A = this chain, B = another copy of it.
Amino acid sequence: MTTQDDRCASGQTGQDRGGAQARACTVREALDRVGGKWSIGILIAASTGPIRFTELERRVEGISRRMLTLTLRNLERDGLLVRHVHATVPPRVEYTATPMARELYESLVALTRWAERHRDAISAARAAYDREHPVAKPTQSV
């Protein structure tokens, strides 16, 4: 989303046994492309076949026209989506996920399952944390 490439750029100054931080950086490469609020939704909607702009707008519910356009551009730039313009009277633009994008989606399956498995544990953890760490505004009282 950043226009910038922002390669990991770790100077490798300290000790990094096993290249742990280097691997962290590799993961971030992937996350950076899919971390946007709408990227995944669009990718999935486009993974089953060519899909039009307006159809995307309907399917990826809640997205604004602007973000749809922007995210599409970024995905196209990264080679995850192909944009095809039909020179018809009402313009017809279709987006299709590339094989690389579909591989990406499959790589996310494990993550999806993780989220499903731990969904409850996480919200429980959050609730517990919030209970034990109240905000404690100084301007309270009464």
Q: Which residues of A are in contact with B by a Cβ distance under 8 Å?
A: 5, 10-11, 13-16, 20-21, 23-31, 33-35, 37, 40-41, 43-45, 48, 58-62, 76-79, 100, 103-104, 106-119, 121-126, 129-130, 133
When chains A and B are docked, how far (Å) is the Cα of A124 from the Cα of B79?
9
Classify the interface of chain A: helix, strand, loop or mixed: helix
A26 contacts which of B30, B35, B106, B112 (Cβ < 8 Å)? B112
Residues A116 and B60 in contact, CB atoms below 8 Å apart: no
Given contacts A27-B108, A110-B110, 15 further A-B contacts (CB under 8 A): A11-B61, A14-B61, A26-B112, A26-B115, A27-B111, A27-B115, A31-B31, A31-B34, A31-B40, A76-B129, A77-B133, A78-B122, A103-B118, A108-B110, A111-B111
CB <8 Å contact, B29 and A119: yes
Would you give the shortest CB distance from A133 to chain B, in whole angstroms?
8
Could you name 19 residue pairs across A and B whose Cβ atoms are closer than 8 Å? A10-B62, A21-B41, A21-B45, A21-B59, A27-B111, A27-B112, A28-B40, A29-B119, A30-B114, A30-B115, A33-B122, A77-B125, A77-B133, A79-B121, A79-B125, A79-B126, A107-B113, A107-B114, A110-B111
